[in-house]
Structure 1
Amino acid sequence: MSDAKPLATPAAASVTAAAAAGAATPLLTPRRSAERSRQYLNSRNITTLRPQISRTNTEPITSSPLSIVKRQDTLRSPTPPRGRTSTNKPSAEAPRRGLVSSDHLAATTVLDTYTPQRTSKLDFWTLLPYYVPCALWIPSYTLTAFVGDFFAGLSLASFQIPLSMSYAHALAHVPTVSGLFGLAICPIIYAVFGSVPQMIVGPESAISLIVGQSVEPMLLHNPNINPLDIAVVISSISGAILLGFGIGRFGFLDNILSSALLRGFILGVGVAMIVNSLVSELGLNKFLTADPAKHYHSPFDKLVFLLENRGNVHVLTAAISLVAFLLLVYFKIVKKQLIGAGFKKAIFFPEILSVVLLSVGLSTYFDWEKSHVAIVGKIQQLSFEMRMPFTGERMALTRELFSVSFTVAMLGFFESTTASKSLGSTYNLPISSNRELVALGAINIFGSAFAGLPCFGGYGRSKINAMSGATTVVSGLVMGCVTLFTISYLLPYIENLPTCILSVITTIVGFSLLEEAPHDIAFHWLARGWGELVTFAITVSATIFYSVEAGIALGLGYSLIRVIKHSTKSRIQILVRIPDSDTFVNADEPLADEMDTVLVDAVMEEIAGCLIIKVPEPLTFTNANDLKTRLGRVDLYGSTRIHPAAPRTRSEEMTRYVVFDLHGMTNLDSSAAQILKEIIAAYRKRGIHVFFTRVPATQHVRIRLRDSGIMAMTERHYVETDTGITCLHYFNELNDALMVVDQMEGMDNFSEY
């Protein structure tokens, strides 16, 4: 095919005249085959503009063109399914999806067609397993799986029952049966709605501590309040909040908490558990409430109390606590060594239950109660009748306990999510945060009807459950049934259990919470993660010196401030060219030499009279104002890192062209579009030409640029097609825009000459 002739239009004639006078000449590219085009382009000795053209954003010619080219043939390449390729040649009837230039297409493999599948309306039986997960595993459940789940459930019950009693008594300051009801009812409900097979729900140490810090001051000011009513209200409100969040699909909230915040909170809770337990382990409970004028609520206050009353320690109670603590530590060490040596069945040894039974036997034999050792005593037998949370006296507690309930809901959700994600990554399980929210909400609403403590998933016991052979949530169901049997028939046999033993169990759990903190602190210190360390310090300090609620509130507040600061900061880059190349880099960052292990500064080339601004992020109302501020600083200094108090280093005449590289701007809201339009209008008022390159092909971004009037304010370029001349507002490549800038500069220089 012969070369195309110049266009017989005044616009084309002006370009031809400019070329004859020595100005930069736009090339009229002929249509060729892929191989001939490649040979021609490799042999050319003049600058060309070869954009890849899309048929969107076209309009008639209304002014003199800046550049005219005739596009090469293009084909639309169908998108294949993953893993499929073909060597078949494309046909004219092939589905047309994305534009690919012919020279590029010749060097690539043509792919098969693919039609994406869309979700049609699903019937009830298809959706049922998603919303009620038990419908998925019940039809395929086997006797072999039940045997593993049964023994795993028994193993869990052996240490979770005394642990729940410990949480209720030593942390939540409610009757021990409240912890048992939470451990019994909630796993049964989770077996219906839970989606994580090995997850075990029950009372948590941190949650129980928050409940206790609400119960303690309320009972001090009003002894007539029933502690069980407080547990009912907190569990019901937190359950309703979680259920509402699950229905509203708020599962994304689990991403706002950093690991530093959670680790700091867990460390603070561990310290609080140890300090609070010391009061009971040393037999100082009666002195804690002896003076109504003094209040010891925070862990720091109780530490001061322990120092003040060190002379009132009950020796026998302290000795029992010390021996029980050493026994539990010894059993834990031996058990870990046996498991490490390959004796896997050692995991089934119930060390906590063994210490509890030994303590009950010794207390009964030696009658420790006569020696003034506090024991559990006769446990109040609660009936299995349902309790309505928002009636009578409980309704009056709702407003006072709402903030505490919200804290319980959020913290419990974050702890459960951490556990579910850890299990999901370990056992390759699909995890849905929204479904877990619904499940956690349901179990706490049902649990509150039986005065149970708030219950959530825990990673430690869930991991033990999986290691014990559990494959489904039936193990939790077995644990719940064993707990119900204990409530109904076995409580009278543990009346002589010393309460200090329950506190010792809490202390062991508290020390286990401290184990990973030193490693995390060392990691963030070596990685220079000062923000994480500050978050950690704020959370721990507030938890120890004030309360658990204050710790999570201040830590979360600081984390949100960091997130907001990060989202409102614009990350625009000033691009400059590496000498003797077509590579552009950020002018404010040192150049990373691939052969070096350190960053080194290099001399870059700046395009005379042209600022190249890269916007590598979505523009929203949060960062658009900062973009405007930073662009003003770039106009004054040529950099975003110069202090605003410095004298101006760039004159207005130094900026004649501004090229925006918008490759990373995948979103643009209306407020940001308004600010961007103001920026471009200010540039045009000063006679500065504005170019847009690499605009994302996202439909809503391009529509917003068009409807807001921004597209009409940018410089256009023209391309000759088979049907005529097409006007485009966007350049596909940065170099294409710079070529037009060179041509405009050449025309200006020629006219001045």
Structure 2
Amino acid sequence: MALKARGLRRFLPILDWGRRYDRQALVGDGMAAVIVTIMLIPQSLAYAMLAGLPPVVGLYASILPLLVYALFGSSRTLSVGPVAVVSLMTATAASAVATPGSPEYLAAALALALLSGLILLAMGIFRLGFVANLLSHPVISGFITASSLLIASGQLKHILGIKAEGHTLVQIIPSLLGNLGQTHLPTLIIGATATAFLLWSRRWLKPTLLALNVPEGTAALVSRTGPVMVVIASIIAVMVLDLAARGVAVVGDIPRGLPPLSLPAMNLSLWATLLPAATLIALIGFVESVSVAQTLAAKRRQSITPDQELIGLGMANLAAAFTAGYPVTGGFARSVVNFDAGAQTPAAGAFTAIGIALASVFLTPLLYHLPIAVLAATIIVAVLGLADFGALRRTWKYAHADFAALAATLLVTLGVGVEAGIMAGVAVSVLLHLWAASRPHVAVIGLVPGTQHFRNVNRHDVLCTPSVLGLRIDESLFFANARAIETVIQQQVADRPDLRHVVLNCAAINSIDASALESLELMMHRLHDAGIQLHLSEVKGPVMDRLKRSDFMHHLTGGVFLSHYQALMHLVPELGRISYAS
């Protein structure tokens, strides 16, 4: 019975933290929910617009998914909902199969949420979270930076009040420049003012309030309400000055009420078309969520369960699919706000969902006069904070291969599209890894005088003997590098006419595949024909277990030694006396 209860708590973390829920947690969660709700209302509207969907869809995607994640998620402070990058990916995928604004477009968004949810859920059930490791940090960094630039440039048309098309930078920029002469001045004033205020409030509002002796808690709260201030001020300006009649685009009617139940289209052809995009949305969303959740959990010495996060996010996306939403994931900015505001449990997300639901029922009529330019400004300011241009310099300085993956992702995303960018980054990363693994570092090692340690002869003053060649292979042996290692050993042997023993130090070898084993056997026979014995030292247990299951150990011409020092002392005992005399 106890085992069954533990298994149930694994799939429903609420059964664990819910038992210890108290008044203090309620107060912290309630305060965080108020702050995140205020932040999430304009964000939800803006991100739905970015996804090419009616603004109300953003509100719908911020209600039931949050409630469901509170039941299944393992992070105490992750805030789930629409995010910029996933919204861009949704727009790219949906626009490939339908016209934005059409019923088919909304059906595609629902299908993406459904497929993403099913993929995440399946990965969680079968514990496949490791698959996301294929998306390396340079690839993710390049993708997010490129996506931020795409999103920001794509929103400039709303700031300028002009028409522009395109999903890549090479399409968007010429389109913007070609229509620049049609700029709508009132829209530009509203959009530029909103952008400037949001940038200023993000960096300077809190210090300004603190300088005016406003309590820190109040200053922090007010500084996070910058988007709400802009929304209210712009609505008042549009109403008082009748700017809608002067051509300023506004949100217009937003349906009032709770999310309707929706049934994603059971269209297998549509699903097959959207499956690659849904897979990428699921992986990107999971990586972003887990990164944020782990960072915040570490600050409180808590932990998350990645496989359970897959289940939580999968269920949240399924909830979005059946309540007229679109794909969701954990957001960086609002999760940090949720954490800083004192959220103690996932109940903060549930309270936020209740706040969004109340806004959907009572506040949507007030948003009729909200300028589209203000939502565009909200998006631009939010996504520019995600771009990390410094990563280019840091990665180039540290590892050129990682820089190549980052740059490939960045350039292909900007020039071709988001899906192609991710695939290019993964492909370059895998190819570079295979290239590096196919050229393993092999060091000739010698004995450090006075010790039992061995180091690279090119880096240290060590003792060597003409009759023994010590080699340390700093890579597991597999099909891609087997021939390269053969070549290195042959070259080293050719330069040593007095050589009688080759000792392979296997301390860094974690596995040997069948191709590498065959190469080892061939190399051993060639050495034997030349009067040279092959020995192994410091072989790891799992590697030795596999070697014993083959004929290699029966034909080994030399011995297997627990340490490289033991091997050398067995083959050249006098070297130990020289070492300690030095």
CA distance in 2, matches of 1:186, 1:346: 30
- 670-679 or 149-158, larger mean C-alpha shift: 670-679
Match of 2:234 in 1: 359
CA distance in 2, matches of 1:615, 1:523: 29
Change (3 A) 1:608 1:140: same
Match of 1:452 in 2: 325
3-state secondary structure, aligned to 1:361: helix
- 348-357 or 537-546, larger mean C-alpha shift: 537-546
3-state secondary structure, aligned to 2:503: strand
Question: Residues 95 and 105 of structure 2 are in contact (CA less than 8 Å); yes or no, is this contact kept in structure 1?
Answer: no
- 334-343 or 492-501, larger mean C-alpha shift: 334-343
Change (3 A) 1:440 1:613: same
Question: Residues 510 and 543 of structure 2 are in contact (CA less than 8 Å); yes or no, is this contact kept in structure 1?
Answer: yes
Match of 2:315 in 1: 442
- Counterpart among 331, 347, 360 of residue 487 in structure 1: 360
Question: Residues 274 and 511 of structure 1 are in contact (CA less than 8 Å); yes or no, is this contact kept in structure 2?
Answer: yes
Match of 2:346 in 1: 473
With CA pairs under 8 Å and 6+ residues apart, which has the higher RCO, 1 or 2? 2
Change (3 A) 1:691 1:213: closer
- Counterpart among 542, 546, 564 of residue 734 in structure 1: 564
Deviations 1:639-684 (A, max 9, x none): xxxxxxxxxxx26x43322122223334334443333222223322
Cα drift, residue 605 of structure 1: 4.2
Question: Residues 347 and 468 of structure 1 are in contact (CA less than 8 Å); yes or no, is this contact kept in structure 2?
Answer: no
Match of 2:81 in 1: 202
Question: Residues 53 and 101 of structure 2 are in contact (CA less than 8 Å); yes or no, is this contact kept in structure 1?
Answer: no
Deviations 1:87-111 (A, max 9, x none): xxxxxxxxxxxxxxxxxxxxxxxxx
Q: TM (normalized to structure 2)?
A: 0.91
Cα drift, residue 428 of structure 1: 1.6
Change (3 A) 1:378 1:558: same
Match of 2:65 in 1: 186
- Counterpart among 519, 533, 538 of residue 675 in structure 1: 519
Cα drift, residue 616 of structure 1: 4.2
Match of 1:298 in 2: 168
Cα drift, residue 606 of structure 1: 3.2
3-state secondary structure, aligned to 1:664: coil
Question: Residues 661 and 734 of structure 1 are in contact (CA less than 8 Å); yes or no, is this contact kept in structure 2?
Answer: yes
Match of 2:538 in 1: 694
Say which one has the larger Rg: 1
Change (3 A) 1:217 1:706: closer
Q: Does residue 288 of structure 2 align to residue 415 of structure 1?
A: yes
Match of 2:261 in 1: 386
Match of 1:704 in 2: 546
Q: Please give the residue correspondences for 1:133-282 in structure 2 after superposition, counting only pairs within 5 Å.
A: 133-169=13-49, 171-220=50-99, 225-282=103-160
CA distance in 1, matches of 2:566, 2:132: 44
Output the amino acid matched with 1:705: L
Deviations 1:114-135 (A, max 9, x none): xxxxxxx961112222221100
Change (3 A) 1:735 1:366: closer
For structure 2, the residue ranges without an aligned partner over 5 or more in a row are: 576-582
Name whichever structure is richer in helix by fraction. Answer: 2
Output the amino acid matched with 1:513: L
CA distance in 1, matches of 2:51, 2:459: 56
Deviations 1:142-187 (A, max 9, x none): 1221122112111111121111110111x11111121111111211
Match of 2:445 in 1: 575
3-state secondary structure, aligned to 1:659: strand
Question: Residues 148 and 471 of structure 1 are in contact (CA less than 8 Å); yes or no, is this contact kept in structure 2?
Answer: yes
Number of residues of Structure 1 aligned to a counterpart in Structure 2: 570
Question: Residues 142 and 407 of structure 2 are in contact (CA less than 8 Å); yes or no, is this contact kept in structure 1?
Answer: yes
3-state secondary structure, aligned to 1:708: coil
Cα drift, residue 208 of structure 1: 0.4
Match of 1:9 in 2: none
Change (3 A) 1:309 1:744: same
Change (3 A) 1:715 1:530: closer
CA distance in 2, matches of 1:422, 1:302: 35
For structure 1, the residue ranges without an aligned partner over 5 or more in a row are: 1-120, 289-294, 592-601, 637-649, 717-728, 746-753
Deviations 1:30-89 (A, max 9, x none): xxxxxxxxxxxxxxxxxxxxxxxxxxxxxxxxxxxxxxxxxxxxxxxxxxxxxxxxxxxx
Deviations 1:457-483 (A, max 9, x none): 122211111111111111111111111
Question: Residues 543 and 551 of structure 1 are in contact (CA less than 8 Å); yes or no, is this contact kept in structure 2?
Answer: yes
- 229-238 or 242-251, larger mean C-alpha shift: 242-251
Task: Indicate the percent of aligned positions where both proteins have the same amino acid.
Answer: 26
CA distance in 1, matches of 2:451, 2:221: 67
Match of 2:414 in 1: 544
Cα drift, residue 305 of structure 1: 1.2
Change (3 A) 1:368 1:475: same
- 540-549 or 174-183, larger mean C-alpha shift: 540-549
Question: Residues 659 and 690 of structure 1 are in contact (CA less than 8 Å); yes or no, is this contact kept in structure 2?
Answer: yes
CA distance in 1, matches of 2:448, 2:292: 48
Output the amino acid matched with 2:75: V
- Counterpart among 556, 559, 576 of residue 714 in structure 1: 556
Output the amino acid matched with 1:404: A
Change (3 A) 1:215 1:381: farther
CA distance in 1, matches of 2:421, 2:437: 24
- 565-574 or 411-420, larger mean C-alpha shift: 565-574
CA distance in 2, matches of 1:578, 1:429: 44
- Counterpart among 319, 333, 336 of residue 206 in structure 2: 336
Deviations 1:426-477 (A, max 9, x none): 2222122111111111110111111212111122211111111111111111
Question: Residues 692 and 714 of structure 1 are in contact (CA less than 8 Å); yes or no, is this contact kept in structure 2?
Answer: no
Cα drift, residue 408 of structure 1: 0.8
- Counterpart among 243, 251, 271 of residue 398 in structure 1: 271
Output the amino acid matched with 1:662: C
Cα drift, residue 736 of structure 1: 3.4
Question: Residues 247 and 438 of structure 1 are in contact (CA less than 8 Å); yes or no, is this contact kept in structure 2?
Answer: yes
CA distance in 2, matches of 1:513, 1:735: 52
Q: Does residue 459 of structure 2 align to residue 590 of structure 1?
A: yes
Change (3 A) 1:732 1:395: closer
Cα drift, residue 569 of structure 1: 3.5
Q: TM (normalized to structure 1)?
A: 0.71
Question: Residues 52 and 101 of structure 2 are in contact (CA less than 8 Å); yes or no, is this contact kept in structure 1?
Answer: no
- Counterpart among 350, 371, 378 of residue 505 in structure 1: 378
Change (3 A) 1:541 1:183: same
Tell me how large the CA RMSD over aligned residues is.
Answer: 2.6
